[in-house]
Structure 1
């Protein structure tokens, strides 16, 4: 016997719904929907007005009392954003945004895990070739590096004598 009621097998499958559609169903969410749409429009304008490295790391907040809050991922980006602040403010005003000032704040993002170190592998024949090359060289930093690399990538194949 299934733990689900018998009518569940006849229910229509649920489909993903857009946030705007869900927020548009009731009047209670109207203000929230307007805020979400405003932030989305601000993000589109910021992508067009800022260089790529800034627009990818800056998030708009709400406009409150004529002040738009911008959140930078770290302090160096916030400093750079302060350099372009006058131009950005005038461009936003030209696009019709009711902004008189910008407030730039730092909102650190979660640190992404560093990529895994490369795990390159060499074939035994390649390792043997490096080993043979290192033996043929005079003692030098290159000879030592090649010998270490050959040893790290496996046992050399016995050379035919």
Structure 2
């Protein structure tokens, strides 16, 4: 007699639990997700069209919502972006209609995105030889903004290599 029950068979080979799977692939497995699959495909197509219609600086901060009763919800990352979208609303609406979207109005809402961590502060170190060469170069140049900038940079790196007391 086997210790494991008969209903605990390993998953079929085409279903690998260790490999991440695209949402579209998972939704295609059964008809129970047909409505959800249609909604996901609609959002993806709408997002693609919005990226093409909006300028680059706007496209990355705008997410489409669902179309309900002819009203498309657009979610902006911040208030300034929402205000800019409201200025573009008539043109954007007509462009979407020309592309075949059944949209009569836009509803623009603000949905703040998660705050991204600022990039780490650079911790570049210059070798003593490099700092000396930079100092020598700054002294060989005529007074100018470049000469002043090189002198400040060399002084900062020369000061950083002195032992702390």
TM bucket (normalised to shorter chain) is 0.7 to 0.9
Q: CA RMSD in A?
A: 3.0
With normalisation by structure 2, the TM-score equals: 0.75
What is the CA deviation profile of residues 74-105 of structure 1, one whole-angstrom value per residue up to 9, with x for unaligned ones? Answer: 11111111111000000101111010000000
Residue in 2 that maps onto 1:122: 126
Aligned-residue offset at 1:134:
7.9
CA distance in structure 2 between the aligned counterparts of 1:130 and 1:27, rounded to whole angstroms = 69
Aligned-residue offset at 1:26:
2.3
Alignment partner for residue 76 of structure 2, among 51, 72, 79?
A: 72
Q: Which of 119-128 and 36-45 deviates more?
A: 119-128
Pairing 1:92–2:99 present: no
In structure 2, list runs of 5 or more residues that go unmatched: 1-7, 141-147
With normalisation by structure 1, the TM-score equals: 0.77
Residue in 2 that maps onto 1:139: none
Q: Which of 80-89 and 23-32 deviates more?
A: 23-32
Residue in 2 that maps onto 1:52: 56
CA distance in structure 1 between the aligned counterparts of 2:23 and 2:126, rounded to whole angstroms = 50
CA distance in structure 2 between the aligned counterparts of 1:16 and 1:129, rounded to whole angstroms = 53
CA distance in structure 1 between the aligned counterparts of 2:70 and 2:33, rounded to whole angstroms = 23
Pairing 1:147–2:126 present: no
What is the CA deviation profile of residues 107-129 of structure 1, one whole-angstrom value per residue up to 9, with x for unaligned ones? Answer: 11111111111111111112234
Alignment size in residue pairs: 145
Residue in 2 that maps onto 1:108: 112
